[in-house]
Amino acid sequence: MRPLPALIFASRWLQLPLYLGLILAQAVYVFHFWVELVHLIEAAFGNTQALDTLVKSVGYLPPTDGQVKLNETLIMLVVLGLIDVVMISNLLIMVIVGGYETFVSRMNLEGHPDQPEWLDHVNASVLKVKLATAIIGISSIHLLKSFISAANIDEKTLLWQTLIHLTFLLSALAIAATDRLLGHGHKPAGEEH
């Protein structure tokens, strides 16, 4: 390979620090998940300080009588927050593993028992569709949290959150449709389904 093409091809390794940074970001999410889970368990056993921390972290507005209790709504908001962290972590894994495999270097996981099922057919298009779908899931969790605590949120904010979610949904549909159109245009005859 000539020097300039070799340099350009080698420049893909500049993405490695970015993926390592995302791994560190995921570690922060893992820590946050465990802190919230510990607060939830402590609150379930009557720890009022943990309960106050949960109320503040999820933006829950306690009843007007000032009596803060661990009720179904508060538990649901905390659990939805935990699910949100897991979904974002899944998104990070897709970006880290799929991006590295697609744009930097092969991981040679063929035959490994823990190889993600989706990794054997990942490419930039598949990765975009998977990421768009994950973002819709994350947005759905946020929207559900907002609907559950709708009394604490003004109508304008709820409307904007709903419109943003619909925009994510339409964008994902457009990406998937475009991918399908472009994918079918490049398949040899007889491979179309």
Residue 27: predicted pLDDT:
96
Q: Which residue has the tokens 């819709």?
A: 136
Residue 91: predicted pLDDT:
87
Taking alpha carbons only, the member of 161, 137, 131 closest to residue 148 is: 161
pTM of the predicted protein model:
0.74
Q: In a structure prediction context, what are the per-residue pLDDT tens digits for the chain, which is 193 residues long?
A: 788 888 988 898 999 999 999 999 999 999 999 999 999 999 999 998 999 899 888 877 776 666 788 888 889 889 998 998 998 998 898 888 888 888 888 877 777 787 777 666 667 777 787 788 888 888 898 888 888 877 777 889 889 999 999 999 999 889 888 888 887 544 444 444 4
Taking alpha carbons only, the member of 34, 185, 38, 13 closest to residue 105 is: 13
